[in-house]
Amino acid sequence: GQSLEQPSEVTAVEGAIVQINCTYQTSGFYGLSWYQQHDGGAPTFLSYNALDGLEETGRFSSFLSRSDSYGYLLLQELQMKDSASYFCAVRQTDSWGKLQFGAGTQVVVTP
Amino acid sequence: EAQVTQNPRYLITVTGKKLTVTCSQNMNHEYMSWYRQDPGLGLRQIYYSMNVEVTDKGDVPEGYKVSRKEKRNFPLILESPSPNQTSLYFCASSLSSQGGQPQHFGDGTRLSIL
């Protein structure tokens, strides 16, 4: 099996940079995904890392290091609208189709 | 508009009364899945379906049933609901089960079992 660990909450001011770590224990997976969820809303896909390294999508970047068993989501130039929960997720190799999410990190952006 | 539609959005019901939450997608996606979300636990997968007539258990399947008779629909059935199934439920779909395929989520169904 696998488990993904994320910090429960991060607080930062507008314009700052926030890094959300996701550490995992796994026997194998197909890559690391990140999702954003605003209060009461549907999660939306942000990024996917199939290989080690950094993927950049505008103000958001995601990183994966399989050798270190961790990844992170980097939020730059924080805006108030970035206040949301962020989830990492992996699709297991030993159970094709199964998808597992971390418990989520609540990001609070203050003025 | 490409979307995943869940119904109902809200439901309050009583223990033991069978209920079905419908999920439909209009994107011709092969992969569909149900999740429940509880405070502090994130999204936990209940069941998933790789294609028509192919379903499998996620991490928390007890007390739930699903079926996939058509590609677009993936209903979640609670045969005898209990209070511990009170939760926020999401249906999602993706083009396939390939690793990087993004999940498209419905707006959620808030279920209260009294």
- Give pLDDT tens digits for B14-33: 999 999 999 999 999 999 99
φ/ψ of residue B21, rounded to 5: -105, 120
Q: What is the mean pLDDT of residues A60-84?
A: 95
pLDDT at A1: 47
Q: What is the mean pLDDT of residues B64-77?
A: 98
Query: Which of B58, B100, B104 is opposite residue A98, by nearest beta carbon?
Result: B58
The answer to whether B83 and B101 are in contact (CB under 8 A) is no
For an interface test with A, the pick among B33, B36, B43, B90 (most A C-beta atoms closer than 10 Å) comes out as B43
* Interchain contact B41–A (C-beta under 8 A): yes
pLDDT at A11: 96
The shortest C-alpha distance from A47 to chain B (Å) reads 8
A21-46: pLDDT as tens digits:
999 887 677 889 999 999 979 999 99
Measured between alpha carbons, how far is A16 from A6 in angstroms, rounded to an integer? 20
Q: What is the mean pLDDT of residues B60-88?
A: 97
Reply yes or no on whether the pLDDT at B1 is more than 60. yes
Q: How many CB pairs under 8 A join A and B?
A: 69
Inter-chain residue contact B100 with A48, CB threshold 8 Å: yes
pLDDT at A29: 78
For chain A, list residues whose CB is within 8 angstroms of any CB belonging to chain B.
Answer: 8, 29-31, 33, 35, 40-45, 48, 50, 87, 89, 91, 95-104
The answer to whether B38 and B108 are in contact (CB under 8 A) is no
Query: What b/e string do you get for B69-88 counting C-beta neighbours within 10 Å, with b at 16 or more?
Result: eebbbbbbebeebeeebbbe
pLDDT at A2: 55
**pLDDT above 70 as % of chain B:** 100
Measured between alpha carbons, how far is A1 from B44 in angstroms, rounded to an integer? 14
Residue of B50, B45, B60 whose CA lies nearest to B91: B45
